[in-house]
């Protein structure tokens, strides 16, 4: 089997070791990725650092054309890329294709933002002491970006690190997840076609035990991390002087109110608790249903979940495939067993076969069970009746996480109240918390992280304002 090279300052390289990538559904080897030596990592960082000023001065049309090129080439190679995602991650083709479509948009949005990346002016003579003065303001990259991406969206979350960096004029060193490096490395091929200066990007699948050194390196002053809560906050503690963005976990809540379209709510919640086998930071995990519609809603939800198509991720019809590993599925199983031992009832699912866990709905889950409090990151949700909006919103906020919440209502007052009162990065009205448009600000509060992604937000994060003041105007 060919070894997939990594990308060192824009060129393909092999190192002194290999990562073996296996398919979660049947454990077969689907590829190997070259691992860089410490000297090669040093070369990549030095190249990014050396390019700092030149990258910041790259003409906007050059950035925009490079990003648009990657978007167009991803579209041309969409099916091949989707198959690579399914091979390394195990997500069904249905979702892998969706991820490629999103990555195409992510690069396209970044190209659009690059064209809008302009300077502003501010008259300062609102103050008598500043008469005749004016400020010219640009946004300047804080320096090269260290992007660290997780396994669950191996292409699009790599895109969310790389695309805004290029648009903002910042070199980037990306470290993909060791389980799923191949789609990020394929992105390297497309970036290499753009003719961007050497040093603008490196994609280095270094193992976790060597990732700390990247976080420590002062030449990478921005760290954009997407991944688990403990690793994210440890990175934040490790690098207090850096600008750290953390996109971490959640235990997404959906609220179903009496005025909701119950069929729609059941379909959406049923699917988006289980898409990607629940391995999404905004998957639905907690479902709070107004007591007046609980009895009517729950059978609809259970029916939807029980009829999801599970199994082989290569089958076009499969909606729920395996988790990333058998260990991950065993952990989910243990958490469900714990809840059941404490009195929870399984309404559907609750079984495991290898790395696959059946889409599961629980009821009567105690408030202190892991399924209530932690991030399950598997195809499991629980339903709970609530008496009205106050109780529902209190329960949504009763979580250490705060990424997004979904409120099924048609009432505008309640929508605005949700936006005001829920401690989350985003409120989705009339749909699941799992909805994300790639151009919008996206991120969380509390343990779920700090900072926002989405092209414009990430570009703002990677840059800071620099002012030039004109005198005597
Ligand atoms: P993870 O934390 O295990 O790994 C994420 C990345 O961090 C990987 O590239 C990994 O190699 C790297 N890493 C691990 N230890 C490191 C260290 N000490 N120093 C530097 N890097 C290190 O997470 P995962 O299992 O790949 O992803 C799942 C998690 O990601 C879930 O908690 C999920 O909610 C979260 N996630 C969040 C978002 C979001 O946007 N908020 C999106 C997707 C996934």
Token pair listed for 93: 């083709």
- Is 391 among the catalytic positions? no
Average pLDDT of 174-186? 98
Measuring CA to CA, which residue among 357, 340, 355 is closest to residue 305? 357
CA dihedral 156, 161, 164, 168 (to 10 degrees): -160
> In the chain, what percentage of residues exceed pLDDT 70?
100
d(CA 369, CA 371): 5
Question: Of ligand 1's atoms, which has the minimum distance to the CA of residue 444?
Answer: 41
Q: What's the distance, CA 137 to chain centroid?
A: 31
SS (H, E, C) 196-234: CCCCCEEECCCCHHHHHHHHHCCCCCEEEEECCHHHHHH
d(CA 386, CA 284): 17
CA 454 – ligand 1 centroid, Å? 18
> Is pLDDT at 445 greater than 90 in this prediction?
yes
**Are 313 and 321 within 8 A, CB to CB?**
yes
**Are 224 and 147 within 8 A, CB to CB?**
yes
User: Residues 88, 99, 113, 281: which is the catalytic one?
Assistant: 281
The ipTM, to two decimals, is 0.96
CA 375 – ligand 1 centroid, Å? 13
Largest CA distance in the chain: 77
- Is 353 among the catalytic positions? no
pLDDT digits (tens, 9 = 90+) for 81-131: 999 999 999 999 999 999 999 999 999 999 999 999 999 999 999 999 999
Pairing label, strands 360-363, 380-386: parallel
Q: Report if pTM > 0.90.
A: yes
Average pLDDT, the chain: 97
- 3-class DSSP assignment, residue 17: strand
Question: Of ligand 1's atoms, which has the minimum distance to the CA of residue 214?
Answer: 20
CA 59 – ligand 1 centroid, Å? 33
Q: What local confidence, expressed as pLDDT, does residue 473 receive?
A: 83
Measuring CA to CA, which residue among 208, 206, 181 is closest to residue 22? 181
> In the chain, what percentage of residues exceed pLDDT 90?
99
pLDDT digits (tens, 9 = 90+) for 285-340: 999 999 999 999 999 999 999 999 999 999 999 999 999 999 999 999 999 999 99
Residues in the chain, how many?
A: 473
* Sheet of 345-348, strands arranged across: 345-348, 360-363, 380-386, 286-290, 253-256, 404-408, 426-429
Substitution candidate for ligand 1 out of 24, 155, 228, 239 with most atoms within 8 A of CB: 228
CA 223 – ligand 1 centroid, Å? 13
Q: What local confidence, expressed as pLDDT, does residue 179 receive?
A: 96
pLDDT-based confidence at 183, cuts 50/70/90? very high
pLDDT-based confidence at 78, cuts 50/70/90? very high
pLDDT digits (tens, 9 = 90+) for 370-396: 999 999 999 999 999 999 999 999 999
Nearest CA to ligand 1 atom 16: 208
Cβ < 6 Å from ligand 1: which residues? 148-153, 157, 175-178, 208, 211-212, 215, 226-228, 231, 235, 247-249, 281, 375, 377, 403, 444, 449
pLDDT-based confidence at 472, cuts 50/70/90? confident
Place of tokens 């609220």: 255
């Amino acid at each position: 089997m060919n070894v997939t090279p990594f990308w060192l300052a824009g060129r393909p390289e092999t190192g002194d070791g290999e990562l073996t990538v296996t398919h979660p559904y049947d454990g077969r080897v689907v590829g190997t990725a070259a691992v860089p030596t410490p000297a090669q990592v040093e070369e990549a960082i030095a190249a990014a650092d050396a390019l700092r000023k030149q990258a910041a001065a790259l003409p906007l049309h050059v950035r925009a054309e490079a990003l648009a090129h990657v978007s167009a080439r991803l579209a041309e190679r969409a099916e091949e890329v989707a198959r690579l995602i399914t091979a390394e991650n195990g997500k069904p083709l249905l979702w892998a294709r969706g991820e490629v479509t999103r990555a195409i948009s992510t690069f396209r949005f970044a190209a659009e933002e690059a064209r809008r990346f302009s300077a502003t002016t501010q008259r300062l003579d609102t103050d008598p002491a500043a008469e005749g003065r004016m400020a010219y303001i640009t946004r300047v990259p804080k320096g090269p970006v260290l992007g660290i991406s997780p396994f669950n969206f191996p292409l699009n979350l790599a895109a969310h690190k790389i695309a805004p960096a290029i648009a903002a004029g910042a070199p980037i060193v990306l470290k993909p997840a060791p389980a799923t490096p191949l789609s990020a490395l394929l992105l390297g091929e497309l970036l290499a076609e753009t003719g961007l200066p050497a040093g603008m990007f490196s994609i280095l699948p270094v193992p976790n035990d060597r990732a700390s050194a990247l976080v420590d390196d002062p030449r990478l002053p921005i760290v954009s991390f997407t991944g688990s809560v403990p690793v994210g906050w440890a990175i934040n503690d490790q690098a207090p002087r850096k600008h750290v963005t953390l996109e971490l976990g959640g235990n997404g809540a959906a609220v179903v109110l009496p005025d909701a379209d119950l069929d729609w709510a059941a379909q959406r919640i049923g699917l988006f608790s289980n898409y990607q086998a629940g391995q999404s930071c905004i998957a639905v995990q907690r479902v709070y249903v107004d007591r007046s519609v609980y009895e009517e809603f729950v059978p609809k939800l259970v029916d939807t979940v029980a009829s999801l198509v599970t199994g082989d991720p290569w089958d076009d019809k499969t909606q729920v495939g395996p988790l990333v590993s058998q260990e991950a599925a065993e952990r989910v199983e243990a958490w469900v067993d714990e809840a059941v031992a404490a009195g929870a009832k399984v309404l559907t699912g609750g079984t495991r076969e290898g790395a696959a866990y059946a889409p599961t709905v629980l009821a009567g889950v105690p408030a202190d069970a892991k399924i209530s409090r932690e991030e399950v990151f598997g195809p499991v949700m629980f339903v709970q009746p609530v008496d009205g909006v106050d109780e529902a919103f209190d329960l949504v906020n009763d979580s250490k996480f705060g990424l997004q919440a979904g409120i099924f209502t048609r009432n505008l007052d309640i929508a605005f109240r949700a936006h005001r009162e829920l401690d989350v990065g985003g409120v989705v009205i009339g749909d699941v918390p799992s909805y994300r448009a790639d151009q919008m600000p996206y991120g969380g509060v509390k343990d779920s992280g700090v900072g926002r992604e989405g092209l414009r937000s990430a570009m703002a994060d990677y840059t800071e304002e620099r002012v030039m003041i004109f005198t005597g105007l």
